[in-house]
Amino acid sequence: MKISNIEKFFVNSRWHARKRIDSAQKLFDFAQLAGKPDCLEIGCGNGAVSVHFARKYASAVVGTDVDPEQVELAQKGITALPNVKFLVADATSLPFEDSRFDVVMSFQVMHHIANWLDAMREARRVLKPGGYFIYSDIIFTEPVARLGRFLLKRFGSNMYGITTMHDLDSFIENSGFSTVHISRKNSLMWYNLEAVYRSN
């Protein structure tokens, strides 16, 4: 799902880019990123995290986003970075071969994808054995998830993906990931979860 213009104004701000980079780097530090790992960012937005990763690790990075305007914006910032490219792609049907990347990352994106589980499976498919899945998102409490699913069904909307810890834990276990790091900040309605997983 494309984000609204109001959301774009927020996520494309310098303040938000700096905050996102700082949060991402804390997660990168939990992974053993030796050499020059090939990296994919799903839902790259304006490309700030992808560019940071490429500069920090001298890696080849591909950023994808479903919104052509965001991809165009990201491309404007990489004229001097031949190891980074951005393209329009649906997270639920990525245009890459199996086991393509050493690192796949996704920051606060999956709750914007109605069929988020398909997107997570695609992230797993394109990740190499031993690769890292670096992930953060909103994880809803069970009561809020039930209410949200009811409302989405009632009003015929497929605008959001609703994930609970049970949903996420089941995916991780069934997909052959081991947990390197996980943390969550609790609120009454959801968790802000940050995690680093490694494929077996």
Write the CATH number for 73.
3.40.50.150
pLDDT at 68: 95
Question: Does residue 15 carry a pLDDT above 70?
Answer: yes
Residue 16 within a domain: yes
Residue 32 within a domain: no
- Count of structural domains within the chain: 1
Beta strands 190-199 and 127-140 are antiparallel
Global pTM? 0.91
Residue listed under structure tokens 């990123």: 33
Whole-number average pLDDT of the chain:
92
Residue 94 within a domain: yes
Question: Does residue 8 carry a pLDDT above 80?
Answer: no
Residue 168 within a domain: yes
Domain that holds residue 171: 5-27+37-199
Please report the sign of the dihedral spanned by the C-alpha atoms of residue 168, residue 134, residue 193, residue 139: negative
- Phi then psi for 135, rounded to 5 degrees? -145, 140
Q: Residue 104 — very low, low, confident or very high, per pLDDT cuts 50/70/90?
A: very high
- Phi then psi for 174, rounded to 5 degrees? -75, -15
Beta strands 84-88 and 177-186 are unpaired
Residue 136: both structure tokens together: 């953060």
CB atoms within 10 A of CB 21: 18
Please indicate whether residue 45 or residue 13 has the higher confidence score (pLDDT): 45
Per-residue pLDDT tens digits for 61-75: 999 999 999 999 999
Residue 150 within a domain: yes
pLDDT at 149: 87
Residue 78 within a domain: yes
Question: Does residue 84 carry a pLDDT above 70?
Answer: yes
Residue listed under structure tokens 């606060």: 108
